[in-house]
Amino acid sequence: MTVEYEIVEDGVLLVTLNRPERLNALNGAAKLALAQVWQRAQDDCAVRAIVLRGAGERAFCAGSDLKEIAATGETVSTQVLANSLPGVGTPLTKPVIAALQGHTLGLGISLAIHCDFRIARHDTRFNFPEVGHGMLSGFSTVTLPSLIGEAAALDIMLSARPFDAAQALELGLVNAVVDDSIAAALDLARRLAAHDSRAMQWTKRLLLADRNNRLQQHLALIDEARTDVMQPH
């Protein structure tokens, strides 16, 4: 299974991207599986906090599976992509923590951005390579400026430059840089799971109401942009 769903302790769900041989790059099946995971987590009364991680030591997620896209000439629909991101396509009011390490690229950063917390291991390496591949990261273009500011978002998305965990912390992209991101994320999840779940879910819903409205308002524009950039030049 490419996406694993495991209740690891009371109230804490661990979601694992499990394609370490491909640096946890997401193919179409994995994106569909992620969509199902977020809906299941929202509906699961046993879940009060969620940790998202990548299997293996080398990567959190190296983005979309470019080999699959090259072979088929197709990407998933904009709605499927939206559903694969936590809280974008379908509501997800429970807190999500991304435990990052190694390669965190493209869609991998987008997954992390749409989580509520990002904890990076010291060796985490980031970049948005899409513009160099004739692609784009549509949902992140809407969300990222509110996290790190417009100038910084333009810099990292248009330059496609790589940056490390320390730089991500300086930008405000990650909450902490640690030796063991999984352990730190699980510790935070335990603390969150101990809070009143109804109060926490409403707090998240209210905090993100403007952002979620912007994402929905821009859905058609994102779809138009993705369709256009995939056309032969």
pLDDT, one tens digit per residue, over 79-90 is 999 999 999 999
Query: What's the whole-model pTM score?
Result: 0.96
Question: What is the model's pLDDT at position 195?
Answer: 96
Q: What is the mean pLDDT of the chain?
A: 94
The C-alpha angle 94, 150, 109, rounded to 5 degrees, equals 45
Mean local confidence (pLDDT), 109-133:
96
The C-alpha angle 28, 157, 69, rounded to 5 degrees, equals 25
Tell me the domains of the chain and their CATH numbers: 3-179+198-229 (3.90.226.10)
Binned at pLDDT 50, 70 and 90, residue 157 comes out as very high
Neighbours of 118 (CB within 10 A): 29
Q: Please check whether residue 51 is in contact with residue 182, taking contact to mean a CB–CB distance below 8 angstroms.
A: yes
Mean local confidence (pLDDT), 22-27:
94
Q: Which structure tokens are listed for 143? A: 């969300």
DSSP assignment string, 14-68: EEEE--GGGTT-B-HHHHHHHHHHHHHHHH-TT-SEEEEEESSSSEEE--B-HHH
Residue 34 has pLDDT above 90, yes or no: yes
Question: What is the model's pLDDT at position 1?
Answer: 64
Q: Which structure tokens are listed for 217? A: 């308002």
Can you tell me the distance from the alpha carbon of 177 to that of 89, in angstroms, rounded to the nearest whole number? 29
Question: What is the model's pLDDT at position 75?
Answer: 78
Question: What is the model's pLDDT at position 73?
Answer: 66
Q: Flag the least confident range among 5-9, 73-77, 177-181, 205-209.
A: 73-77
pLDDT, one tens digit per residue, over 45-74 is 999 999 999 999 999 999 988 787 766 767
Q: What's the one-letter identity of residue 23?
A: L
Binned at pLDDT 50, 70 and 90, residue 135 comes out as confident
Question: What is the model's pLDDT at position 233?
Answer: 64
Can you tell me the distance from the alpha carbon of 56 to that of 176, in angstroms, rounded to the nearest whole number? 20
The proportion of the chain whose per-residue pLDDT surpasses 90, expressed as a percent, equals 88
Distances (CA, A) of 83 to 29, 139, 151, 169: 13, 11, 28, 27
Q: Please check whether residue 55 is in contact with residue 20, taking contact to mean a CB–CB distance below 8 angstroms.
A: yes
